[in-house]
Amino acid sequence: MHAVRTNTLGQPIGFDVPKWRAPVWPARSVIEGRHCNLEPLEERHAPDLHAANTRDVEGRNWTYLAYGPFGSVDEYRRWLTATCLGKDPMFFAVIDRALGKATGVASYLRIQPENGSIEVGHINFSPLLQRNRAATEAMYLMMKHAFDLGYRRYEWKCDALNAPSRAAAQRLGLSYEGIFRQATVYKNRNRDTAWYATTDSDWPALRAVFDRWLDDRNFDASGRQVVRLSDLTQPLLVSRG
């Protein structure tokens, strides 16, 4: 935590950021990892993504998203081309390297270089990607890329009733920042929004935790984790909720 300073009037003011330079806008380029690559989402990814999404037979992944589910690959492709090919939100397809195909999506959004703030959202990991080391690595890669570009703040927001998303944010080391009541309306219902974030000052310790968790030595011969990521990130959280 930064010490509180006061100005000449005795009023508390924020800490100086003397060398601050606004980061560049993220490029639509591939972000490479060991277990997955993040490719800028394109129409060609639609068949693999739709097929992977159909494994979610009950449609649970779509409950807290403002769109979907999609009944056919053509319907999904039309939504993708109309919604997902711009600069903000900037969508990526998660390519599971073991399978060689797209198995999920995530995006940067509310990108504000002038403030050094960027959000991750529109996360939809199919059953092929869920509970997979590639899924965690995908989130790590997006976070790392944002901080490498010079962003100061990395945000995660979700429906306050979406318990799995809230748990995922904290598992990934993002601290709870509160609830915005009646923040939006989607699918003809109210959404209270839960806010989570991490900052550039948090990042060195958090990056070391990810490096430790993703290391092959943290997994046994069956691919099961030895130490849980949540056990490593919990001590780093500024607040929980």
CATH of the domain at 184: 3.40.630.30
User: Nearest to residue 125, comparing CAs of 146, 110, 142?
Assistant: 142
In 156-227, which residue ranges form alpha helices assigned H by DSSP?
Answer: 163-171, 203-214
> pLDDT tens for residues 84-129?
999 999 999 999 999 999 999 999 999 999 999 999 999 999 999 9
State yes or no: pLDDT of 4 exceeds 90. no
In a domain, 35, yes or no: yes
- % of the chain with per-residue pLDDT over 70: 100
pLDDT range class, residue 36, cuts 50, 70, 90: very high
Give the pLDDT of residue 95. 98
Residue 127 lies in a domain: yes
pTM: 0.95
118-177 pLDDT tens trace: 999 999 999 999 999 999 999 999 999 999 999 999 999 999 999 999 999 999 999 999
The answer, yes or no, to whether residue 18 has pLDDT greater than 90, is no
19 pLDDT band (50/70/90 cuts)?
Answer: confident
Question: Is 23 a member of any domain?
Answer: no
The answer to whether 195 and 180 are in contact (CB under 8 A) is: yes
3 falls within a domain: no
Whether the predicted pLDDT of 215 surpasses 80: yes
For residue 74, tell me if it sits in a domain.
Answer: yes
Domain range for 152 is 29-236
Query: What pLDDT is stored for residue 3 in this prediction?
Result: 81
**Residue 103 near residue 123, CB atoms below 8 Å:** no
* Number of structural domains found in the chain: 1
pLDDT at 151: 98
Query: 241 lies in a domain?
Result: no
Measured between alpha carbons, how far is 61 from 165 in angstroms, rounded to an integer? 11
In this predicted structure, what is the pLDDT of residue 99?
96
Which of 53 and 20 is assigned the larger pLDDT?
53
pLDDT in tens, 224-234: 999 999 999 99
Q: Residue 6: inside a domain, yes or no?
A: no
Query: How high does pLDDT run on average in the chain?
Result: 97
| Cα-based angle 69, 108, 224 (whole degrees, multiple of 5) | 75
Residue 2 predicted with pLDDT over 80: no
In the chain, % helix, strand, coil (3-state, to 5) comes to: 30, 30, 40
Answer whether residue 10 is part of any domain. Answer: no
